[in-house]
């Protein structure tokens, strides 16, 4: 009989510890869900089931120095992307208007080079933004 009581007592103690651990994990999960950032692409991100424009992201990740560093790389590559896309578009439009065949071919070639650079910058832009958001979410869990 004593063995049965001892077993039940140990079982109840282990269940209470599991419940306490479960409450802690629920609190951590709730904190993470409220503060984690989800970026699905384009120009908006989601935090706490609300959608925000991407320009507000810097204020969200300000406490994480690694995420700020990656975000600054994102902004730099985004600037390069915009410049190369504008230059490529300008060269393409100039090539359409040009009368001389050699100038037209040169402008088309220049626009191809500019657009290929913009593709490269586009990949780097999304890579650094994803990394910044990942680092922010990681620091939320480690906080």
Over residues 76-107, the pLDDT tens digits come to: 999 999 999 999 999 999 999 999 999 999 99
Closest CA to 54 of 70, 30, 71: 71
- Three-state secondary-structure class, residue 39: strand
Cα–Cα distance measured from residue 126 to residue 42, given in angstroms and rounded to the nearest whole number? 9
Cα–Cα distance measured from residue 32 to residue 29, given in angstroms and rounded to the nearest whole number? 5
Domain extent listing, the chain:
1-28, 60-143
Q: Which residues contact 118 (CB under 8 A, 6 or more apart)?
A: 81, 84, 85, 88
Q: Is pLDDT at 16 greater than 70 in this prediction? A: no
Over residues 34-81, the pLDDT tens digits come to: 888 888 888 899 998 899 999 999 998 998 999 999 999 999 999 999
pTM over 0.75: yes
Q: What is the pLDDT of residue 61?
A: 92
What the block records as the tokens of 42 is 């384009």
Over residues 98-134, the pLDDT tens digits come to: 999 999 999 999 999 999 999 999 999 999 999 999 9
What the block records as the tokens of 64 is 């994480």
Long-range contacts of 87-96 (CB under 8 A, 24+ apart): 87/114, 88/112, 88/113, 88/114, 88/115, 88/117, 88/118
């Amino acid at each position: 009989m004593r063995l049965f009581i001892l077993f039940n007592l140990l079982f109840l103690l282990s269940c209470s510890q599991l419940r306490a651990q479960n409450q802690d994990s629920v609190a951590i999960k709730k904190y993470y869900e409220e503060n984690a950032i989800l970026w699905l692409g384009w120009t908006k991100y989601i935090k706490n089931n609300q959608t925000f424009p991407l320009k507000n992201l810097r204020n969200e990740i300000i406490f994480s120095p690694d995420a700020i560093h990656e975000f600054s790389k994102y902004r730099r590559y985004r600037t390069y992307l915009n410049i190369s896309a504008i230059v490529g578009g300008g060269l393409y439009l100039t090539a359409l208007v040009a009368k001389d065949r050699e100038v037209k071919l040169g402008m088309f070639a220049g626009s191809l080079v500019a657009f290929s650079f913009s593709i490269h910058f586009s990949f780097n832009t999304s890579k650094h933004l994803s990394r910044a958001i990942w680092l922010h979410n990681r620091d939320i869990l480690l906080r």
